[in-house]
Amino acid sequence: MERCVIVGGAKIGDYSALCGQLRKGDFYIFCDSGLYHQAMLGVRPNLIVGDFDSHENPHADVETIVLPCEKDDTDTVFAVKEALRRGFDEFLLIGVVGGRLDHTLCNVSILLMLDSAGKRARILDDYSEMEIVSREAIQVEDSVLYFSLLNISGTARDVTIRNAKYPLEGAKITSEYQYGVSNEVIPGRTAEVSVGEGRALLVKIRRE
């Protein structure tokens, strides 16, 4: 099945970088004010969801799910749940971080939800790429300026980082003490990050 791309309403400054990550055949869900990004992204929604408190309902010839303003799930969380219901296994979220911190933290936690469901997911913004490290090791190319490994859920044990300026072997990272910030890949090498027990958030910084 094709990848699901979910577009939120957070600010996007560098559309060219994000457009370069889009694929032919992606399924696009636009969430409410994420519709402001449609023209610059140059893609057509396959599904629109939202309570339309920050963007008017376009009443386009596109499947649209109108949500109540008072609800437990944000528009973005609802979109993810709907995509899971439709059977998607891979997700890319854009326009979901920045601006309001509460929405940013909520949307980063979506990566945990998708990881628990056994799905692959990334968040992209103007500067970084985020994903969860859990069951499989993840590689980091030396084109990345910096990368950080943060614990946002419980305790991560047997954390290993190889081919990096600051290596780790069988380490523990707790949510209370984040010491895996601003690491660097050794030039000409590919770093590898793995977590034996628990999970962690890998943030790759593409530019400053």
* Percent residues over pLDDT 70 in the chain: 99
User: Where in the chain are the domains?
Assistant: 4-126, 133-205
Q: Where are the beta strands (DSSP E) in the chain?
A: 4-7, 27-31, 47-50, 63-66, 90-94, 120-124, 128-133, 138-140, 146-150, 155-162, 168-174, 191-197, 200-205
Specify the pLDDT at position 192: 97
Q: Which of 185, 120, 104 is nearest to 149 (CA)?
A: 185
Q: Which pLDDT tens digit goes with each residue over 126-167?
A: 999 999 999 899 999 999 999 999 998 889 999 999 999 999
Q: Which pLDDT tens digit goes with each residue over 10-50?
A: 999 999 889 989 999 999 999 988 999 999 999 999 999 98
* Residues 67, 46 contacting (CB under 8 angstroms): no
Q: What is the CATH number of domain 4-126?
A: 3.40.50.10240
The pTM score is: 0.91
Q: Distance (Å, rounded) from C-alpha 164 to C-alpha 187?
A: 9
Cα angle value 54/114/78 (rounded, 5°): 30
Is residue 208's pLDDT more than 70? no
Is residue 77's pLDDT more than 70? yes
Architecture of domain 133-205: Sandwich (2.60)
